[in-house]
Amino acid sequence: MRLHVHDWGPAAGRPLFCLHGVTSWGGRFRRLAEERLGAFHVFERVRSLVLLDPAVWVPPPVALERAELSRRDESYASVGEAVDARLAGNPLANRRLVAEELPQHLHLGDDGRWRARFARSAVVAAYGEMAKPPPLDRVAAPTLLVRGRDSEVVPDALVDIVCETLADCEVVTVPGGHIVMWDAFDETASAVLAFLEDSRP
């Protein structure tokens, strides 16, 4: 297995570890790191925890629907077609951000079609895990939960459970859906930076 690691910021900067979801990729953090987190050494240790509309404890019907959808062989004749398809399914997303980022998450198959760079079988298995309760009681770090207002992945009930279980949890709701880095970049980046600055040792 090949592990892809992205690294931004000064080596002597405060360390910041970023981990993406199963169908995403580390490059999604590039703009946040370069434009807003210049004082941090961002890489893919945890003193503070930031959860960006996390796919944990996903409602089982939603997890099943997403797993079934991920079984389809979605391929595109061109990168532009892939970008258009992604925007059609997420009309709140910023076209410039999607057009800049998505091509780097695609690969050209032997059949001449473009596909997302992840294994569908791994995604199906992951959704089964995402539907299980996470071990929130083991989280001791101060936590910021950024959720998309219209996201079906992080319902109000989950927010309540997270806040009741974690000793130190702050919740920020931003416009849009699950991919907060596309739908509400400025609001998300501002919330993350404010939280990290507040949790400076």
CATH of the domain at 35: 3.40.50.1820
Does any domain span residue 127?
A: no
Is the separation of the CB atoms in 36 and 192 below 8 Å? Answer: yes
User: Do 55 and 152 belong together in one domain?
Assistant: yes
Element containing residue 7 per DSSP (H, E): strand 7-8
Does any domain span residue 18?
A: yes
User: Do 169 and 194 belong together in one domain?
Assistant: yes
Distance CA 1, CA 8 (A): 23
Last residue of a domain, one of 121, 149, 172: 121
For the chain, give the longest Cα–Cα distance.
52
pTM of the predicted structure, to 2 decimals = 0.74
User: Do 50 and 66 belong together in one domain?
Assistant: no
Task: Please give the pLDDT value at position 1.
Answer: 31
| Average pLDDT rounded to a whole number, residues 68-79 | 94
Does any domain span residue 2?
A: no
- Indicate if the alpha-carbon torsion angle 95, 97, 98, 100 is positive or negative: positive
| Average pLDDT rounded to a whole number, residues 38-55 | 74
User: Do 136 and 176 belong together in one domain?
Assistant: yes
User: Do 52 and 73 belong together in one domain?
Assistant: no
User: Do 104 and 137 belong together in one domain?
Assistant: no
Average model confidence (pLDDT) across the chain: 85
Distance CA 199, CA 190 (A): 14
- Is pLDDT larger for residue 96 or for residue 27? 96
User: Do 54 and 91 belong together in one domain?
Assistant: no
**Domain span at 76:** 62-121
